[in-house]
A and B are shown apart, each in its own frame.
Chain A
Amino acid sequence: MKKTSTIALITIILLILFWGTIIPAAAEDTQDVPFIPVTQPETGLPTIEPTEIPTQLPTEVPTEMPTVQPPTTEPTEMPTVTPPTEEPTITIWTTMPPIGGGKGYIDTYCNVDGASVSFDGRYECMITQGVCTVSVSPTGFIQTITVSKAGYTTWSGQLPRMPADKEHVAVYATLNPVPTQTTVPPVLKGAIYAQSSPAGAAIYMNGALQGYSPITIPNLPPGTYSMKASLSGYTPDTQLVDVYTGQTATYYPNLQQSPPPPRSTGTVSVTSTPYAALVYADGNYQGKAPLTVTLYPGTHNFRVSLPGYNDYTTSVYVTANTNQKLNAVLNTAVFGTVSISSMPGATVWMDSNNKGAIPSSGTLTLSSITSGNHVIKITASGYNDWINTVYIQPNAVTPVSATLIPSGGQPAPVSSTGGINIVSTPSGAEILIDNLFRGYTPSTLDGIKAGQHQVLLKYTGYIDYSTTATVNAGQTTPLAVGMQAAPAPTPESAPSLALVVGGIVVILGISAASRRRS
């Protein structure tokens, strides 16, 4: 009896061990092998037959079609269809092994049709009309259910429990659309903000006008930009400005007031009666009337003359940027007589015209001379020229006594006159001929003695221009001068500084030595 009991106990233990080994092994096989082939029409009887038995031309249509459906999204593993060798053999794989008895169902509900349902990573079905039902063996083992669809977040959850026979276990999966990422394009541009004081300056970037300050120049690729600000009455400012991605660089031009502009001018329009009288402004011949003379502001002396008429003289105050009219009505000349007493043989010139020589009597009388001022010059070899302006009285004899002074050296050649036409850049420079002020450029200076003359042009802020001009009698010598701006003052002379310091050191040394001696 005891022996029988022992045998029975051993048998029970072996059975327990047997079932305890077989079932977990089947479960493990389910996990490792994705699809267990169904080798015969499902009869509802559980089977633990070999997992793969090809059926020879099944005569019955399976009551349950393979659950493998054409996935819309690529399944991780495709069902394997063994190609027929000699005779067609159809192998249909199902999802769950027919382990144990009965058939349960897992109903996967989802809010998105077309989502793929996978059990432990294996594709099972697609959600249709909100649900997907998969039959499984109640004795099977499914751990994780995954529902996914492109454009939605993947849902994954644990199966609460395996369904019992003919039982439905519902799983609810909610897919949420993948949040649309608002792709903010990377900021690749920068900008420049330009502001000037005073405002309104023209802002140029890389040599092109952008507008007037204050201004923001947007959409600039990062880099360096050549900026310029220009405002009337101020010196332009230029800077290189670096622009960085996503930043607004600032450009604050430093506008300094410009130095006073060049002297402005005014004009005088001169007409004459009769027509074509000669016009002189400040002694300089300007041309024949009518004409317009450009002059700097201030008082200017005009003389309009015409042979046979008395000179018309007047002063005109010229105002900047204005035009004035001057109509010179010339009166018929009143004549006078001049009696010139000088050294016999001396030559007499009146207004640059040769009037003859002093006769042996020592007096030359010139009649029918228009009344007014005349320049009389008397020259003689070995004597200094005598030049003077003489007013010849009308209807009278004006005596002139000219005493010639010996020059003491070689007799000076008698020279006639010419002119110099001087223009300069900038205009308005002072003209000094032989150190005598003669006006401002541009100007034509007549009555200059033939020969060489020292011409000096001066203009504030420019280097004095000096040259020697040769004047030929009866000709006008052109002279065009481009004046150079005066350089900035150079630093104080370094040698003198070094000497001064050296001297100080010497004195200190001497002082120290003397003190030590004392």
Chain B
Amino acid sequence: MTETCSAATKLWVSAFLIIIVISILTAFAYTSSNDALKDSVRQGMKSTAAVMATQINASDLAGIRPGDETSPQYTAVVRHLRTMRSLDDNIINAYILKVNPDQTATFLVDDLMIDDPAGSARIGEVSTSPDKREIFSALSAPAASKEPYTTKYGSFISAYAPIDDATDDSTGNTYAVLAIDMSANDYNTATSKGGLILITGILSMLIALGTLFIYGMKGKNGN
């Protein structure tokens, strides 16, 4: 009797350990996978923003002032931005920010100004994005949002890249920051691919538990 109880106890303990171990590993794998996907998406956005930023000539931006939304100079930059943005369906906004000394960022060019003036940021409008540190960092190197955020324009995750102040003979100084937005929904969809991991973990757990109990029952019957 004592031996039978001991075997059952061992069986339950083993099952408990299996559940614990596989659950932890599955959760770890799920989290790691999602993090890797997020990093990959953000890295891709940063690369795209960086390449787009190289195509913007700071001299085209120098004369833009508030109220110039219909000026030929402004619309030319808007079209340029729109063309680049249209190359990737995942990018839904492309715009240029001017970073002020007090670390606030104001819109300089919004690529939707021609197509949707009411839904676009005007020149000089202060950005309400919580990505202040990222925008500030983009004065030096490409940066991306850590997590999706929401403003009056929608929910996005963004990437930012410096626009050099001179296309030729660059000194490396930054004139403005180019930003691109990806829909937060698209981002979440793209980075939530861990379902297979969860299924695999659950299956592994079931197989392990099943095997354990089958052998446990055989052992009991043998006795």
Contact = CB atoms under 8 A, between A and B. Distances in A.
B173 A510 contact: no
Contacts of A513: 11, 212, 215-216, 218-219
A494 B28 contact: yes
B215 A490 contact: no
Given A505-B21, A517-B222, A517-B223, A498 B29 contact: yes
A501 B25 CA distance: 8
Contact of A208 (B21, B173, B212, B219): B173
A12 B32 CA distance: 114
B149 to A, nearest CB: 19
Interface string B209-223: 001100110110011
Contacts of A1: none
A226 B222 CA distance: 73
Dominant secondary structure at the B interface: helix
Interface in A483-500: 485, 487-488, 490-491, 494-495, 497-499
A240 B216 contact: no
Contacts of A151: none
Given A238-B140, A491-B32, A501 B173 contact: no
A499 B204 contact: yes
A238 B197 contact: no
A230 interface: yes
Contact of B29 (A209, A495, A517): A495
Interface residues of A, number: 38
A227 B133 contact: no
Contact of B139 (A207, A490, A498, A506): A207
B64 interface: no
B200 interface: yes
A188 to B, nearest CB: 16
A501 B21 contact: yes
Interface in B162-208: 162, 171-175, 196-197, 200-201, 204-205, 207-208
Given A204-B140, A512-B14, A517-B222, A498 B200 contact: yes
Contacts of A406: none
B43 A502 contact: no
A509 interface: yes
A316 B25 CA distance: 60
Contacts of B76: none
B33 A202 contact: no
B10 interface: yes
Contacts of A207: 99, 139-140, 162, 173-175
A227 B32 CA distance: 30
A516 interface: yes
A509 B136 contact: no
Contact of A491 (B18, B36, B139, B223): B36
B40 interface: yes
A498 B136 CA distance: 41
Nearest to A502: B204
Nearest to B217: A513
Contacts of B175: 207
A412 to B, nearest CB: 39
Interface in A207-263: 207-209, 223-224, 226-228, 230, 236, 238, 240
Contacts of A503: 204, 208
Contacts of B43: 487-488
A228 B162 CA distance: 12
B26 A510 contact: no
Give 7 closest A-B pairs by Cβ, nearest first: A494-B29, A207-B174, A502-B204, A228-B140, A207-B139, A495-B200, A238-B140
Interface of B: 7, 10-11, 14, 17-18, 21-22, 25-26, 28-30, 32-33, 36, 39-40, 43-44, 47, 99, 101, 103, 133, 136-141, 162, 171-175, 196-197, 200-201, 204-205, 207-208, 211-212, 215-216, 218-219, 222-223
